[in-house]
Amino acid sequence: MNNEIESKANEESKKDAGMVEKFINEEKKYQNEIITLDLATYHEIPRQLHHIITCINKSSKFDVFNMFVMYAMYEIGFIGDWIEQHLLSHLSLNWCYSFDQRVFEFCTLPQQLKERNDYQLKLTFKFALDPERQVVLYSHLSGDLVLLTVYEQESHNNLQLGLNSKSLTVPISRYIPFNRLSQNIPNSFRNLKELSIKLKDNLLLSLRNDIYNDNQSSAMPYINGLPSWIVIKIFKYLKKKDVYNLKCSCRKMNDVYKAFIHN
């Protein structure tokens, strides 16, 4: 019986070690790449965002701006409900999607973009902590100003209710000053770090925190709940004695340590 348990434990250990190795290899793809909107420059924006913008047919400033907002939402843990769930099943969604940068590989154009009018766009997102809860982004263009409203959507007696509503008005030309995108797409934009901070601090993070506070059953992530590639990053900042203590704490930490020393 003990041999059976030990054999099963060894198999699980090898499986975990294999997954850690996979995380390391996939992380290397991103080491020299801009991932987040606030790191964008005149010469480079996140690769997935660049791809999305080039895919928009006859893109307007309003369309491109909404893709910036969508990307910022992805960064903090929301993801479009048009993304099929099975595509995300192999990712490490322990707390929120933003813990695993590979989620941006599924950052695609929403179908609603093709059906909208010139002044309004409504997109629905879900949240990794509680995928049943939906968050709606409503974007309305008036002259040079975009009014952004996000709220949590709930159904009650067949009525759609908007809860925890947050709004923000943004001048679109401050971030997209030109009517046409240049051949060097990143050079078409300005102040993207400012935009990223404004969207997160004044609109998105407060809504996300409200959802956390409402969900009493959720806990902040502990180290065993984090993806292995993040634990490896933590190892890099620890003293040797602390690394040794952590790797002795459990089987998973020991497997991550093995991957760490071979990295």
Q: What is the CATH number of the domain that holds 185?
A: 3.40.1000.30
Nearest to 94 by CA among 214, 226, 233: 226
Q: In the structure, what pLDDT confidence band is assigned to residue 94 with cuts at 50, 70 and 90? A: very low
Range 139-144 average pLDDT: 94
Total-model pTM: 0.69
204 and 237, same domain (yes or no): no
Tokens of 21: 């190795």
**Range with the poorest average pLDDT among 226-230, 250-254, 258-262:** 226-230
203 and 244 both lie in a single domain = no
pLDDT at 30: 56
User: Residue 250 CA to chain centroid, in angstroms?
Assistant: 29
Residues 152 and 63 in one domain: yes
Identify whether residues 57 and 144 lie together within a single domain. Answer: yes
Round to whole Å and give the CA distance between 172 and 68. 11
Which tops the pLDDT comparison, 182 or 88?
182
Q: Quote the CA–CA distance of 102 and 208 in Å, as a whole number.
A: 21
Pick the more confident residue, 190 or 249: 190
Instruction: From 225, 259, 248, 246, select the one nearest 16 (Cα to Cα).
Output: 259
Same domain, 247 and 193: no
In this predicted model, what pLDDT tens digit does every residue of 151-192 receive, in sequence order? 888 654 444 445 678 899 999 999 999 888 888 889 999 999
Based on the domain organization, do 122 and 230 belong to the same domain?
no
Domain boundary among 214, 234, 249: 214
- pLDDT at residue number 133: 75
Tokens read off for 194: 């400012």
Check whether 140 has a pLDDT greater than 70: yes
Contact 120, 140 (CB under 8 A): yes
Structure tokens at 27: 């992380």
- CA 1 to chain CA centroid, Å, is 44
- The radius of gyration of the chain's CA atoms, rounded to the nearest angstrom, is 21
The C-alpha atoms of residue 115 and residue 163 are separated, in whole angstroms, by 25
pLDDT above 90 covers a percentage of the chain that reads 20
Answer yes or no: do 137 and 157 share one domain: yes
Instruction: Answer yes or no: do 210 and 191 share one domain.
Output: yes
Average confidence (pLDDT) over 247-263: 80
Mean pLDDT for the chain overall: 76
For residues 184 and 220, which has the higher predicted lDDT (pLDDT)? 184
Pair 175, 234 in one domain: no
Contact by Cβ (8 Å): 56, 63:
yes
Are residues 53 and 15 both part of a single domain?
no
Whether 175 and 236 share a structural domain:
no
Query: Regarding beta strands 145-156 and 134-142, do their DSSP bridges make them parallel or antiparallel, or are they unpaired?
Result: antiparallel
Domain of residue 41 covers 33-214
Are 61 and 107 within one domain?
Answer: yes
Distance CA 150, CA 164 (A): 8
pLDDT for the residue numbered 98: 44
Between 25-29, 126-130, 206-210, the lowest mean confidence (pLDDT) is in 25-29
Count of the separate structural domains present in the chain = 2
Amino acid at site 117 = N
Per-residue pLDDT at 198: 94
Using the predicted structure, report yes or no on whether residue 34 has a pLDDT greater than 80: no
Work out whether strand 134-142 and strand 120-127 pair parallel, antiparallel, or are unpaired: antiparallel
> What amino acid occupies position 20?
V
